Amino acid sequence: MALQAGIVGLPNVGKSTLFNAVSNSAKAQASNYRFCTIEPNVGLVDVPDERLAKLAELVVPNRIVPTQMEIVDIAGLVKGASKGEGLGNKFLGNIREVDAIIHVIRCFEDENVLRDEGAINPVSDKEIIDTELQLKDLESVEKKMQRVEKMARVGTDVKAKAEFEILSRCKAHLETGKSIYSLGLSKEEKAAVADLFLLTDKPVLYVANVDEASMHTGNKFSEQLKAVAAAEGAEMIVMCNNIEAQIAEMEVEEDKLMFMEEYKMTEPALNRLIRSAYKLLNLDTYFTAGVQEVRAWTIHKGWKAPQAAGVIHTDFEKGFIKAEVIAYDDFVKYGSEAACRENGKLRIEGKEYIVKDGDVMHFRFNV
């Protein structure tokens, strides 16, 4: 399941530094000049999950396999991108490809780091990105409205009439400076604009990139951003990207622990970021646990057992018979699959079972 979260922001806010820190499969070039990143860098990221480690402790498998997600480092955006400024359409096209947005915003002062937008203003920086995405979406919506308007006016084309009404709502919403995501379209209504791949219909996680002194408490800049994010109902994380990059570069675990202890960190802030991005994508995790491996698998919230089985192999979904399910808490409490079975905590579920986050599962199938 190759779901992607794209890192976006103005030039020189710390996007590539963050990407270098989170990615365990690629390193992005991080330099102090505009458009350092031109082609998007893509990296696979392990999703930190304490439950996986706990299951492995109980089962003692030959290997442990975490679930992963893709992180994409996209080129810096500038004002006027919707009209082709900077990397313009290329940048916006890259955003269309991702499922969620990690918006990095500069919340620190440093005269050595280039900045064309004047004094540090995280709210204004956020609005520059928002405006460019909204303008591009408005252009897409208006073009489609022109195509369906004539059919809608005839009155006999019910589908066109419904689409035009939804497009009109989207247009009015965008013209007020708001993103489509906040319009709250239903699943059926989204189908009317699905072909447009609207940029502002993606969930957003804000990253306030602060200096070392503010990494635990935040500062006046991150507080300004926090207030705006809260008003949107969006999540925000405060972190120092430079510190996170230093931790990620350390190969010896003891060195990492000593470094974090020095900075009074219980875990890298990246762990919170990755978990939050995973949650942003509306994903759940289930586990398989055996002597050969303990493994985490990614599914969408609300998936039924056959769909979840299909993540392992399509044959599992086609020939699904039943699923043996143990709740994670029960597995930890009783210590093994055998003990859960003996205590009546192993359930047999059929095709209509909706998989819960943390389920430990074993599938029966026949093809």
Q: Which residue ranges make up the annotated binding site for ATP?
A: 12-17
The answer to whether 145 touches 171, Cβ cutoff 8 Å, is: yes
Q: Name the strand (E) or helix (H) holding 351.
A: none
DSSP one-letter string for 92-115: HHHHHT-SEEEEEEE----TTS--
- Binding annotation: 12-17
Q: At what angle do helices 158-175 and 122-154 cross, to 10 degrees?
A: 160
**What letter would DSSP give residue 355?**
P
Pairing relationship of beta strands 63-65 and 4-8 according to DSSP bridges: unpaired
Q: Name the strand (E) or helix (H) holding 82.
A: none
The answer to whether 360 touches 326, Cβ cutoff 8 Å, is: yes
**What letter would DSSP give residue 354?**
B
Handedness of CA 332, 338, 342, 348 (dihedral sign): positive
What separation in angstroms does the CA of 210 have from each of 95, 230, 240, 342? 24, 18, 5, 52
Q: How many CB atoms lie within 10 A of CB 154?
A: 9
Q: At what angle do helices 122-154 and 88-96 cross, to 10 degrees?
A: 70
User: Cα(85)–Cα(61) distance, rounded to whole angstroms?
Assistant: 53
